[in-house]
Structure 1
Amino acid sequence: MSEGEFDPFGDQTVSNELSGVLPVEYTAFHSQHHRAYLCYAHLQLGTRQDAVDVVDDVFTFLLKVWPQALRESSLHGFAWSVLREHVERRLALLCRTPAMVETAWLAALRRSKRQRLELHGARLALYAAIAELPERDYDIALLAFLGGYSEERVAQMMGISTAAVRSKIRGARRALSRKLGLDWAAGEEKDQ
């Protein structure tokens, strides 16, 4: 996947009026993560409005518990778990399963109308294979492969080590290669 393959949102930061009232750390956290959270939520929920609503709810909740969130062993890990919980709750409320395969497929079709249909079929198979990965591997693959985020950025967002992300990406590539019937050579990921 190309860098930033799936990004339906432009830059969205805290408004100037609010930035002077909100805690500086919160404003910085919001600026760093808002776009990535929207991308993740949109891939999971399938609609831009649902993603915006959920991410707004996440950041509202984080603001309410901000002093406690700062005391967590990992602010980023805590915030990521809040995002996942809100997305899962919205999916349950809507009686839907994650829409990642369809959302990513439609985004790929919109971006590349001139490409051949078999390439799109291969992407659809890849998205379906990503959807079958275990929970943490799925989140990492979604952010790295579809969101185009670096290993360092994914690690920071999720509150885990870069080495853990690198290991999960390597494992995801092996698993995806097996599911798709492709040859995978160790070390290939270093070229990308």
Structure 2
Amino acid sequence: MNTNPPHPSAPDGPSGPPLRQPVRRLALTFEAFHDTHHLLWLRYAHLHTGSRAAALRIEGAISRQLATSWPHVLRQESVPFYAWTVLKEHVANWLSAHDRPVALTETAAFDAVSRALREAQEQFAVLESRIGLYSAIAELPERQCDVIVLRFALGYDDPFIAALLGVEESTVRSHVSIARRKLAARLGIPWRE
């Protein structure tokens, strides 16, 4: 019985020709990454554009861009962070091309306020009746706004957010703490940790 692995020029095995196997592995890694992130891309694009159709177009464009440059993407220091920057670029380009402001205030008010408030427990439960919450979130510095939207409006956990933004989990927690303090001050709510 021969236990040696097949030679690269060996005839096709059960998974196809030997030279196609690396291509298939690349495709599988992209599919896995896409399956893990495409819903986030859709939700984020929808929150910022206010349009489901726009979100679908943006998600499709991101998917195509990443798929066609997947070997390059895999060489990046952080694949989630690279994809995140591509997403933000596509959203910004769509908003600019359609001469529209970020729709976070309107979209989030309908799509995510109850979820955000539940997850923020007592502090955000007080904010439920405050119409200015999402306006205040939209006015936060970009990184703090992203962390608040990802954690409270979209429901992602700190490890996922940290990987996505290319930062440490402690940085995510710091952004949340600072942003919550700013939001409480802006909305006139007494702050407590």
**Per-residue deviation, residues 16-64 of structure 1 (Å, max 9, x unmatched):** xxxx796111111111111111111100000111001001101110011
CA gap 1:108/1:23 in 2 versus in 1, 3 angstroms: closer
Distance in 1 of aligned mates of 2:30 and 2:107: 30
Displacement of 1:120 in angstroms is 5.8
* Contact kept? 1:108, 1:120, Cα under 8 Å: no
Aligned equivalents of 2:100 and 2:106: distance in 1? Answer: 12
- 1:138 corresponds in structure 2 to 145
Q: Which amino acid aligns with 1:132?
A: E
Q: Does 1:86 align with 2:90?
A: yes
CA contact (8 A) 1:46 1:99 kept: yes
Q: Does 1:170 align with 2:177?
A: yes
Q: Hey, what's the Cα distance between the residues in 2 that align with 1:155 and 1:110?
A: 24
Q: Is the 8 A contact 2:81 2:164 kept in 1?
A: yes
Per the alignment, residue 126 of structure 1 pairs with 133
Distance 2:92 2:170 in 1: 27
Alignment partner for residue 62 of structure 1, among 57, 66, 74?
Answer: 66
Q: Distance in 2 between matches of 1:87 and 1:175?
A: 25
Moved more, 73-82 or 83-92: 73-82
Gapped runs of 5+ residues in structure 2? 1-23, 116-125
Contact 2:133/2:187, CA 8 A, preserved across alignment: yes
* Off by >3 Å, runs of 4+ in structure 1: 108-111, 118-121
**2:62·2:87 contact (CA, 8 Å) conserved in 1?**
yes
The gaps in structure 1 that reach 5 residues or longer are 1-19, 112-117, 187-192
Q: Does 1:40 align with 2:47?
A: no
Aligned partner (choices 38, 49, 71) of residue 75 of structure 2? 71
Per-residue Cα deviation, 1:72-121 (whole angstroms, up to 9, x for no partner) = 1111111100000000000001100100100112336899xxxxxx9765
CA contact (8 A) 1:33 1:157 kept: no
Structure with greater Cα Rg: 2
Q: Identity over aligned residues, as a percent? A: 39
> Cα gap change, 1:75/1:21 in structure 2, threshold over 3 Å: closer, same or farther?
closer
Deviation at 1:162, TM superposition (A): 1.1
Aligned residues of 2:127 and 2:133 also touching (Cα < 8 A)? no
Q: What is the aligned length?
A: 160
Give the Cα separation in 2 of the matches to 1:109 and 1:37: 19
Q: How far apart are the structure 2 equivalents of 1:127 and 1:102?
A: 8
